[in-house]
Amino acid sequence: MSGLSLWYTRNTSSGTSYCNNGWIGMNSNKQADIQKENEFNFKPGQIAFHPGITNSHSCIRFTVPSAGFYDVQGVFFSSGPATNLNGDATTDVHLSINNVELRSLWINQNTGILVFPQIYLNMGDYVQFEIGWGKNNNYNYDSTAANITITGYY
Pair 146, 89: CB distance under 8 Å: no
Site residues (CB under 5 A) for Ca ion?
90, 133-134, 136, 142
Question: Rounded to an integer, what distance in angstroms lies between the CA atom of residue 66 and that of residue 70?
Answer: 10
DSSP string of 95-126, one letter each residue: EEETTEEEEEEEEESSEEEEEEEEEEE-TT-E
* CB-neighbour burial class of residue 14 (10 A; exposed 0-12, middle 13-18, buried 19+): exposed
